[in-house]
Structure 1
Amino acid sequence: MRFDKTPELLGIAITVVAVFSTFSVGAISANAANAAPPTPAEQRYQQDRANCLAGKTAESQKTCLKEAGAALQAAREHDLKSPSPSQIAANERKRCEALSGADKTDCLKRAANIDTTTSGSVAGGGDIKETVTVIPGTPGTAPADIHPETMPPTAAGPTTLPPKPSN
């Protein structure tokens, strides 16, 4: 078999490929131009992912990436939003409703940050709020004197106390 028309067919094939590639590049660039900008959830995911890959988190990279992906999915499905400070305060007060008496009063003090110290961090497992309530003793009663040396031994404790260190 002889192919006398090979150069002509090759030329036609190259022309067809060039035309189709021009249309496909145009279509791709048109899709890129019409693409919606990333949502805040997608932007947050990209930031979280970058932090995971850079090792800027307290968890392993695998866990971090998994959590970032799960947060993005949850945001897409439920349109999650961060609560406002007033919503957070209302939620704190609502948790106190199940309590009564002094416990409820102390809970509301912690919710309002009255006489309360806060320590901890989200990365460390959460914030810890502590309120110290001083309960005065009854007037006229002496404080109890406790002498461990004269107390009977407990089942878990030593039978004799170790000697006091001398300075």
Structure 2
Amino acid sequence: MPAITPCLWFDGNAEDAAKFYQTVFADMTIDNIVRAPSDNPSMAEGAVLVVEFTIAGQKFVGLNGGPQFRFTEAVSFQIDCDGQAEVDRYYDALSAVPEAEQCGWIKDRFGLSWQIVPRTLMRLLSDPDPDRARRASLAMMEMKRLDIAALERAAEGR
């Protein structure tokens, strides 16, 4: 089966982004850096053209494509978290645009969207009791940073 590698379009800061993600994700590696050749008309010779990196076993390519395109919420990366401490750690490390925060969705300083999702949320949203699932969903919609204890209280009707 062929590998699918997300290619992220950056405006000249793909290497900075990769180095930043290394500080956030313990299992992140920068695998390769490709520099522009001397005959590239849009980049100085030796400038970073592509950064290949891996986070949690998923390969990514960061392409320094220029200012033409920006990230949108149409694409985001979901981080499954074991508990509130992990939710808080990723939220604190990645969130850089407070006005974009909603329901665990955040934007980092490069404009890339992330979903910081506790595994408990998916369990609550798929609860066989539709009232519990609805209450958890309504509570989630009111949150910026997801609060596991508050989600559980809401599901229970407290």
TM bucket (normalised to shorter chain) is under 0.3
- Structure with the bigger RCO (C-alpha within 8 Å, sep 6+) is 2
- Bigger-Rg structure (1/2): 1
Considering fraction of residues, name the structure with more helix: 1
TM-score w.r.t. the length of structure 2 is 0.27
Q: TM-score, normalised by structure 1?
A: 0.26
Looking at secondary structure, tell me which structure has more strand per residue: 2
